[in-house]
Structure 1
Amino acid sequence: MLLLAFDTATPAVTAAVHDGTTVLAEAYQLDARRHGELLLPAIDRVLREAGVDKHRLTGIAVGVGPGPYTGLRVGLVTAAALGDALGLPVHGVCTLDAIAHQARAEGLAGPFTVATDARRKEVYWASYDADGARTEGPAVDRPADLAPGPQSVGAGALLYPGAFPDAHGPEHVSAGALAGYAAAELAAGRELLPNIPLYLRRPDAQVPAGYKAVLPA
């Protein structure tokens, strides 16, 4: 197995190559406004650092959100284009599941909630049991409307400490963790998600009220 993994659902632009057992190379950069600029160079860098020709890859794993529309679509379109060009399967991974996998790998024990920043004073969230299995979500809500578990991770939890008990990192997803989660699920024979975005709400950009279409005569 040789997976190329990447995610653009959070402010982190992150990519990794995973051989089914370990991360061979990983790139991670925080910049919420430059996903489109940074992703392809990051992919090129991790392939070079791992010493892996793209034609040797066996699959692509991509974070499908939830996340803001503009950033998220960069990763999904890139995954679709690479998958088509290289003839590779594209496996979608819920970004919150990847953060949960990362938190448990870093030693988190017991039930917990993952929350990322959804803007508009809301968070994208999901809850997990002690084994890391998702029990609720993904969903988008105001922090005050939630009853999270005894522990919380993610940038959304850190942003609203009054609503999330014992909030700590990881803040954003790591492509290495996403790749590790995808590799474990595939090795166990479990299907991952399609390459379809989990937006959970309408994009911020809207057609102005009273807009009139002008058709040619």
Structure 2
Amino acid sequence: MLVLAFDTATPAVTAALHDGARVLAESTTIDARRHGELLVPSIAEVLREAGAALGDVTAIVAGSGPGPYTGLRVGLMTAQALSSTTGAPAYGVCSLDALAYASGLTVPFVVATDARRKEVFWARYADMRTRLSGPSVDRPDDLPGEPLLVGAGARMYAGVLGEGRLVDGAPDFPLAGALAALAAEHLAALPDPAAPGGVLTAPVPIYLRRPDARVPGAPKKVTA
């Protein structure tokens, strides 16, 4: 097994290679404006560091969001393109699930990332592997008021949500090493490695908002 994973659903452009037992290489750059520029070089970097070729990859996994439209599409379209090129199956994994997995928590908590517009993308978990609800998009003060908090969205609105609920040492963004490890765990349990199952889905985006663009209506009359 050789899993190539990457995520572009947040400001973190992150890629990693996992052999089914451990992360062989990982690269992460925080830059919300350069997903398209940074992702392919990051993939090339982790392959080079691990001494692997793209043709060696047996599964491709992309974070499927939720996240802003443009960044999210970069990762998912790259996964589909690489799958077509190599023949390796491509999967999507909810980016919040990767962030939850990286937390290592065994108690209930909430993951929240920045959704802009003074809102957060969030989901509720029983532990690092078990999502109870979500993903959803809401204002910070609409989130559950008791569980621990993980993620950049929670940190941004800690004044509203409560500083004491933030988990020390948990990552702010989904990182590809955790995404790859979570995917490898589920791939090992699948009877058919080419079929989605568990947290693994088709590589399609999770959009929680309608697009900003609208089909123009009929032109207004300017004469009587």
Is the pair's TM-score, using the shorter chain for normalization, greater than 0.5? yes
Given that residues 100 and 128 in structure 2 are in contact (C-alpha distance below 8 angstroms), is that contact kept between their aligned partners in structure 1? no
Q: What's the TM-score, normalizing by structure 2? A: 0.88
Given that residues 154 and 166 in structure 2 are in contact (C-alpha distance below 8 angstroms), is that contact kept between their aligned partners in structure 1? yes
- Are 2:207 and 1:199 aligned? yes
Counterpart in 2 of 1:185? 186
Given that residues 113 and 148 in structure 1 are in contact (C-alpha distance below 8 angstroms), is that contact kept between their aligned partners in structure 2? no
Counterpart in 2 of 1:124? 121
Runs of 4+ aligned structure 1 residues displaced above 3 Å come to 207-212
RMSD after superposition: 1.6
Structure 1 residues not aligned, in runs of 5+: 213-217
Identity of aligned residues (%): 58
1:189-210 deviation line (CA, Å, top 9, x unaligned): 2441111100111234x24855
Distance in 2 between the 1:211 and 1:38 partners?
Answer: 41
Give the 5 Å matches for 1:33-182: 33-104=33-104, 108-130=105-127, 132-165=129-162, 166-168=165-167, 169-182=170-183
Q: What is the DSSP-based 3-state SS (H/G/I as helix, E as strand, rest coil) of the residue aligned with 2:74?
A: helix
The alignment of Structure 1 onto Structure 2 pairs a total of residues equal to 208
| Shift in Å, 1:8 | 0.2
Structure 2 residues not aligned, in runs of 5+: 191-196, 220-224
Distance in 1 between the 2:61 and 2:146 partners?
Answer: 28
Q: What's the TM-score, normalizing by structure 1? A: 0.91
Given that residues 111 and 149 in structure 1 are in contact (C-alpha distance below 8 angstroms), is that contact kept between their aligned partners in structure 2? no
| Shift in Å, 1:82 | 0.4
The AA in structure 1 aligned to 2:205 is: P
The AA in structure 1 aligned to 2:149 is: S
Given that residues 127 and 149 in structure 1 are in contact (C-alpha distance below 8 angstroms), is that contact kept between their aligned partners in structure 2? no
